[in-house]
Amino acid sequence: MKFGILTSGGDCAGLNAVIRAIGLYLLKNVNNAEIVGIPEGYAGLIRGESYPLTREDLEGLLTLGGTILRTRRTPFKRMTVPEEGGTRLSKMVANYKKMGLDCLFTLGGAGTHKTAALLSMEGCNVIGVPKTIDNDIYGTDVTFGFRTAVEVVTDAFDRIETTTRSHSRTMLVEVMGNKAGWLTLQSGIAAGAHMILIPEIPFNLDAVCDFVSSRIAAGETYTMIAVAEGAVLDSEARFKKEERVFVRPEQGEATVTRHLAEVIGARTGQETRYSVLGYLQRGGTPCAYDRLLCTRLGGYAAKLAAEGRFGVTAAVSGNNITFNALPDIAGKYKFVDPQGEEVALARSIGISFGDRA
Ligand code: F6P
């Protein structure tokens, strides 16, 4: 049998570890298994490119960051249309057949799963594996790459806290996450942030400044704020991301962090700085939890393939690895519940979410 693997969307720690687990399982359990890598996600499939992955290629992948297959974050609908005619989808289906694949593993986030569902509807045998530092894929308790990112952000936050405390400042630490605030919420709690701003809970500018002022009035010398890149003011919550840049005071400003730092500094009188963590959140070796999770998810996905169970994606439910049907989860996101246990717990120990609650 011939198996293809592609990685799509923003990279994260653990992609290579999943490739390794899939490969090792297939080589051990499927007679004459042939494995090929498709470079640059769906773009490579549209172009019809693939190359063999041998046992030697899998060596050392457990701990290697990034993806040896390379990836693209271009949304599927914006990928280049094939010059020789046809649609992106028809080209992918044709190349799937031309390559002689019996199954395609798609390692990616919500967008990747949406495209995987389309391929599956066209008759391709597809199995997804849920990846993203955003942890926002519907139907799985956790995605691989998320825990590593939580560790990285928490460590960075700890370091920034020491300089913030030394200088008696207010500090905003911007964390990735445009639609979902999981990474900001969990690393914020783990690092002891005083305030956490996430897309799911629009914040009020007065409430944010009042909170910092009240800390200063109470004799607290510094304040640490974790801000998701997709955090929104309550006044702009009704706008989509693309529309938001036009309603922000500085035209074209992608995130609210710098603006917030200026306003907090001006209103509270406390020196205020911000730090954007950026791509270090996606890079590097997976933490032990992710190495284990990637090995479990990859091995499980390969087992599904060996059993001929397609049109699904691996998932985590409690302590178990399971699967979801692609049509059930495609196009859906998992968001932080503003009324949920984690937010309630955070509020109960005095963490502010910048709202009037
Ligand atoms: O989806 C993963 C992610 O890291 C998001 O958290 C972030 O908003 C986005 O990718 C950044 O993507 P890019 O690499 O295109 O800047």
Q: Rounded to the nearest whole angstrom, what is the distance from the C-alpha of residue 10 to the centroid of ligand 1?
A: 6
Active site residues: 134
Strands 34-37 and 51-52: antiparallel
Measure the CA–CA gap between 141 and 318, rounded to whole angstroms: 7
Domains and CATH numbers, the chain: 2-145+286-329 (3.40.50.450), 149-282 (3.40.50.460)
Pocket of ligand 1 (CB under 6 A): 10, 73, 109, 132-134, 176-178, 229, 282
- Residue 30 CA, distance from chain mean position: 31
Pure H helices in the chain: 15-29, 41-47, 55-58, 88-98, 110-121, 146-166, 182-191, 205-217, 241-247, 257-268, 288-306, 326-329, 341-348
3-class DSSP assignment, residue 223: strand
Measure the CA–CA gap between 9 and 23, rounded to whole angstroms: 21
Give residue 35's pLDDT.
Answer: 98
154-165 confidence digits (pLDDT tens): 999 999 999 999
Q: Rounded to the nearest whole angstrom, what is the distance from the C-alpha of residue 73 to the centroid of ligand 1?
A: 8
Measure the CA–CA gap between 245 and 256, rounded to whole angstroms: 9
Prediction pTM value: 0.96
117-134 confidence digits (pLDDT tens): 999 999 999 999 999 999
Q: How many CB atoms lie within 10 A of CB 201?
A: 21
Give residue 312's pLDDT.
Answer: 98
Give residue 62's pLDDT.
Answer: 98
Q: Specify the ligand 1 atom closest to the Cα of 133.
A: 2
Q: Specify the ligand 1 atom closest to the Cα of 176.
A: 6
What are the residues facing 340 on neighbouring strands?
Answer: none
Q: Specify the ligand 1 atom closest to the Cα of 177.
A: 6
Residue nearest to atom 12 of ligand 1 (CA): 10
Counting ligand 1 atoms within 8 A of each CB, the residue from 72, 133, 175, 281 with the most, and so the one to mutate, is 133
Residue nearest to atom 10 of ligand 1 (CA): 10
Q: Specify the ligand 1 atom closest to the Cα of 73.
A: 15
Mean pLDDT of the chain: 96
Give residue 45's pLDDT.
Answer: 97
Do the beta carbons of residue 262 and residue 208 sit within 8 Å? Answer: no
Q: Rounded to the nearest whole angstrom, what is the distance from the C-alpha of residue 128 to the centroid of ligand 1?
A: 19
Query: In a structure prediction context, what are the per-residue pLDDT tens digits for the chain, which is 357 residues long?
Result: 999 999 999 999 999 999 999 999 999 999 999 999 999 999 999 999 999 999 999 999 999 999 999 999 988 888 887 778 889 999 999 999 999 999 999 999 999 999 999 999 999 999 999 999 999 999 999 999 999 999 999 999 999 999 999 999 999 999 999 999 999 999 999 999 999 999 999 999 999 999 999 999 999 999 999 999 999 999 888 888 777 766 666 556 678 999 999 999 999 999 999 999 999 999 999 999 999 999 999 999 999 999 999 999 999 999 999 999 999 999 999 999 999 999 999 999 999 999 998
3-class DSSP assignment, residue 254: coil
Q: Rounded to the nearest whole angstrom, what is the distance from the C-alpha of residue 215 to the centroid of ligand 1?
A: 33
Give residue 80's pLDDT.
Answer: 81
Do the beta carbons of residue 75 and residue 241 sit within 8 Å? Answer: no
Q: Rounded to the nearest whole angstrom, what is the distance from the C-alpha of residue 1 to the centroid of ligand 1?
A: 35
Counting ligand 1 atoms within 8 A of each CB, the residue from 8, 134, 198 with the most, and so the one to mutate, is 134
Give residue 1's pLDDT.
Answer: 96
Residue nearest to atom 11 of ligand 1 (CA): 10
Distances (CA, A) of 95 to 44, 48, 99, 185, 300: 10, 5, 6, 41, 26
Do the beta carbons of residue 258 and residue 274 sit within 8 Å? Answer: yes
Do the beta carbons of residue 244 and residue 230 sit within 8 Å? Answer: no
